[in-house]
Structure 1
Amino acid sequence: MNFFSLGSMVPQATVLTLVDMPGYGYRSRLQWGKFITDYLGGRKRLRSVYLLIDANVGELKQTDEQCIDMMNSLQLPFRIVLTKVDKIRNTDAVVAKVTQLVQDRASFFVPPVLPVSAVLKYELAELRLNILIACGIVKPPY
């Protein structure tokens, strides 16, 4: 796991830390081990988990399903970030399909699915705002 301190975003705010768990998609839940389950389940100040799903796949992989099941069992709110949308033709259709698949499986999913592209810088500002709202640093605009 990699920890990134994002500093204090507003005066008197707690330091925001982003934790990256690279490679979870290449391993099964058993290989993640008890450490990650304990880490996620034991973080009282954890505000949300963002599960990154490759838009090229267009559906949930087994490891995505395992992660979603773990979020449900730990009762952790989580959001879906659909990455690499610059590589697909019909972003709206893939977002709708992934949304439906996740909603059918998950109790703690917080919509909407967030489509992004690092290459095109597509919707990155929306993702950043979503993170700040999830952390309670910024109030929702609605």
Structure 2
Amino acid sequence: MESNTAVSALTILQYLALIHQVTYTNVCREVGLTPQQFSDWVKKRRPVPKERLQALAEFFKVEAELLIDENNYLLDLTPETKIEVQILFLTRMLMNEEENPEKEGYQQKLQQLQWEKRKQSLITRFSTLLDHKNKQIEELCLAFLHQMENESSEV
């Protein structure tokens, strides 16, 4: 698995719309876009203009850099960015909620996501090392995993 493997071929922008439960049409209407512009950006036919990018970032209350690459094309959703977006979303919900019976559940989910983020980071690091296709690196990774598995079974 590569660190930049897209999750379900979504962009971060599309995922933000999904978790905010807003249609692409509504995003377009609120931000002043045409559905064709939105489609062109999602399909990476065109980069996102800076002024539109800022409007999208403000609409979803995220940093503009979260949405685009260095050439202003929308970023694909990766396992890492999916978790980051979920953490941002839950953190914002917790900050905006006064007395909500679900607040404790949100806090537990946030802790779980923070663990998932650390775990995904380790997976990505191992994957990146193994992508070098270096026999010595592979043997070291296997030896490390074997050592850890043996220690955990002894506990």
Considering Cα pairs closer than 8 Å and 6+ residues apart, tell me whether 1 or 2 has the greater RCO. 2
Greater C-alpha radius of gyration? 2
| Structure with the largest fraction of strand | 1
TM-score (norm 1): 0.25
